[in-house]
Structure 1
């Protein structure tokens, strides 16, 4: 199956051609192994723990009801998982779907200023804006123009905090996180065919059980069905939620995922990634969700070397992740209590270990070449700083600052 839709912008394809669903389905069985399965599970654990708590915190700040909160979680997880399955099978690439974590952080302060229905209307508009940008073909042209070292430096800076979690988690929880770290090193030396993350996960869970790290007493299960909400449109929500959210989806999540995939040698379908992120934003808005789009950190986990040496088979990790991620959304009302029971330091440790390969590759490609050194440096430090301007997070400003620095200090590199 091949789909190539052209835009009016010099025949730039909106939906880039991929191998197709038939080939993806046919090869899945041979590509599914211990490495891809483990990477998919680790990505799902990461996506269903800390980020879920961020959404629940934003909902609490906005004084949302339990029904509104559960519907929000259902939409971003179910449709985010569906994006993983669709793009994973069609492109046979580890392109993961989820939602904008910086967007959820931004909503923690924005939701109290508007009614819930006004927020729903703003989510809808943000999805439309992202979709239009995808159809224009501009995103693909812009991302291909930005020098690779600057993109890689942005990835290194944005993901560096995950690497730091290896140290901070071991310090905060020396028994649980320390056991997981020791298992990683031992597993790597004993058998390189099986991802050492698997041993970290198993040993970490056992250590948490033995030390009482799980807070089972807080688990209370009650089934709540997702609901559909009518949007209300206001200028305040347009400028306060819709515009920043659209920029975050493109400038933070999609840009990170594009850079990560490029670093691993994939030709990422950036226009299709943008289009499906826009569609995801429109669909989830009716369920009270702020967006379902491409996921930067989970794409990094599933596309890393921890998902196996066979790059053509890493999409299997994305399929595993998509199934688990979507299932979390379907059973959000029952799953959320279990998320709260997981030791946060164990989750942080696993995510940090999964990012090692991505970080090494990003640093190598950012600074190994002789070109764009100043641009890469400024992109790195801006991304690491966590800078937020006009409610737009650091990865976007990292790319802008990196390109400007290179244009000023090393313009000849663009000509070469």
Structure 2
């Protein structure tokens, strides 16, 4: 039991510290005010904490839950919507509805699973690329602040991959302690200790629902839900997909009006809590996930402080740290996207279109990248079948 408690605490700390900067970058890109950003972070953390409490107790499996990091990265790298924060909320609600429907209609989940993995990974890589360039850009604009953070990240990678981002975030806090105006920072912290809990009014625009809501759903499914299920099944734990999607879908839907990122499964923290480090008895490892849920609920209380820390830090530094957190995901996605030598053009087209930032008929490049890459993949697959049939 002690091992499960320690691993649950560690998983929550790693999950939060490694990705909160990405969520804050997404909220900034959504045109959220400081108060709205704090509220969004609070409800996202609370939602994944409550799901982490409920699902492991129901499934008796270490069902690790997290906010959608690739989804947040997609929002952070997307152009600001004409309707601002309200229109972004409409896209978040759309994503939550689609996750819930996937849990209610398993055929939809199977359809998403039929998207060729190289295409899905190329879409994810294209979404991540812009944010992964941020550390280099920050290095050029604020070298005195960014160099210590990058060095700490490298040292963390050398010690343990899971320690890289917590060490980078800790270094950022130390750097800021020596560079910010203490009087202004103190006043900001006193004013922003606990976030407001009022929802904002969403705006539902068909274009943004298609351009943002649908890609947000797809990268959440392909980037977190499907890998999270795979980790559970690989470790011989039951992955009750419809139930898990229904619970996370409801959590995403209810928290979206407050600006929270979609809630999904997590592969990284699931891998931490499925192994022997979480206890020698596999039947009791679900307690690690439950403890992580309690920890997330407590971390939610720090949302106001976290948001204030982000506001007093240079924007380039926060986005740069977010980019560092996504580099491993980018590398893994690119490796998988181009793993099939007979199908390189389709993922390349998906990756480049999604990364370009283009829009066509008001719809984002992420959607068109998926469409174009899928068409090329399908046409080449049909051509290969005809060639084999005639030979």
TM-score by length of 1: 0.67
Are the structure 2 counterparts of residues 120 and 247 from structure 1 closer, same or farther at C-alpha, using a change threshold of 3 Å?
closer
**Higher RCO, Cα 8 Å, sep 6+:** 2
- Structure 2 residue 4 is matched with structure 1 residue 31: no
In 2: Cα distance, 1:316 partner to 1:209 partner:
37
In 2: Cα distance, 1:311 partner to 1:143 partner:
32
User: Is the Cα–Cα contact under 8 Å of residues 77 and 326 in structure 1 kept in the other structure?
Assistant: yes
What per-residue deviation string (whole Å, max 9, x for no partner) do you get for residues 201-230 of structure 1?
Answer: 33332222223388616615165652478x
User: Is the Cα–Cα contact under 8 Å of residues 213 and 343 in structure 1 kept in the other structure?
Assistant: no
Gaps of 5+ in 1: 1-24, 61-65
In 2: Cα distance, 1:309 partner to 1:350 partner:
28
Query: 1:262-281 to 2 correspondence within 5 Å?
Result: 271=242, 274-281=245-252
The alignment partner of 2:191 has SS state of coil
In 2: Cα distance, 1:106 partner to 1:334 partner:
27
The alignment partner of 1:411 has SS state of helix
Question: What is the CA-CA distance between 1:174 and the residue it aligns to?
Answer: 0.8
Are the structure 2 counterparts of residues 166 and 266 from structure 1 closer, same or farther at C-alpha, using a change threshold of 3 Å?
farther
Question: What is the CA-CA distance between 1:121 and the residue it aligns to?
Answer: 9.0
User: Is the Cα–Cα contact under 8 Å of residues 32 and 317 in structure 1 kept in the other structure?
Assistant: yes
In 1: Cα distance, 2:361 partner to 2:296 partner:
31
1:372 match:
343
2:129 match:
160
User: Is the Cα–Cα contact under 8 Å of residues 99 and 248 in structure 2 kept in the other structure?
Assistant: yes
- Structure 2 residue 185 is matched with structure 1 residue 216: yes
Are the structure 2 counterparts of residues 165 and 292 from structure 1 closer, same or farther at C-alpha, using a change threshold of 3 Å?
closer
Are the structure 2 counterparts of residues 199 and 244 from structure 1 closer, same or farther at C-alpha, using a change threshold of 3 Å?
closer
In 1: Cα distance, 2:100 partner to 2:289 partner:
23
- Structure 2 residue 377 is matched with structure 1 residue 406: yes
User: Is the Cα–Cα contact under 8 Å of residues 208 and 343 in structure 1 kept in the other structure?
Assistant: no
Query: 1:130-141 to 2 correspondence within 5 Å?
Result: 130-141=99-110
Question: What is the CA-CA distance between 1:184 and the residue it aligns to?
Answer: 2.7
Aligned residues: 369
1:345 match:
316
2:28 match:
53
What per-residue deviation string (whole Å, max 9, x for no partner) do you get for residues 81-116 of structure 1?
Answer: 4345555775535541259646697885225999xx
What per-residue deviation string (whole Å, max 9, x for no partner) do you get for residues 33-52 of structure 1?
Answer: 86x46532423432453234
The alignment partner of 1:370 has SS state of coil
Question: What is the CA-CA distance between 1:377 and the residue it aligns to?
Answer: 1.1
Query: 1:83-94 to 2 correspondence within 5 Å?
Result: 83=51, 86=54, 92=62, 94=64
- Structure 2 residue 83 is matched with structure 1 residue 110: yes
Question: What is the CA-CA distance between 1:176 and the residue it aligns to?
Answer: 1.6
In 2: Cα distance, 1:351 partner to 1:122 partner:
22
In 1: Cα distance, 2:352 partner to 2:302 partner:
40
In 1: Cα distance, 2:309 partner to 2:101 partner:
38
Are the structure 2 counterparts of residues 377 and 70 from structure 1 closer, same or farther at C-alpha, using a change threshold of 3 Å?
closer
Question: What is the CA-CA distance between 1:257 and the residue it aligns to?
Answer: 2.4
Query: 1:174-189 to 2 correspondence within 5 Å?
Result: 174-189=143-158
In 1: Cα distance, 2:128 partner to 2:231 partner:
15
Output the aligned Cα RMSD: 4.8
The alignment partner of 2:82 has SS state of helix
In 1: Cα distance, 2:25 partner to 2:85 partner:
22
In 1: Cα distance, 2:169 partner to 2:259 partner:
31
User: Is the Cα–Cα contact under 8 Å of residues 153 and 168 in structure 2 kept in the other structure?
Assistant: yes
Question: What is the CA-CA distance between 1:308 and the residue it aligns to?
Answer: 11
Question: What is the CA-CA distance between 1:59 and the residue it aligns to?
Answer: 5.7
User: Is the Cα–Cα contact under 8 Å of residues 76 and 98 in structure 1 kept in the other structure?
Assistant: no
Question: What is the CA-CA distance between 1:336 and the residue it aligns to?
Answer: 3.5
TM-score by length of 2: 0.70
Q: Which has the higher helix share?
A: 2
Question: What is the CA-CA distance between 1:169 and the residue it aligns to?
Answer: 1.8
In 2: Cα distance, 1:361 partner to 1:121 partner:
31
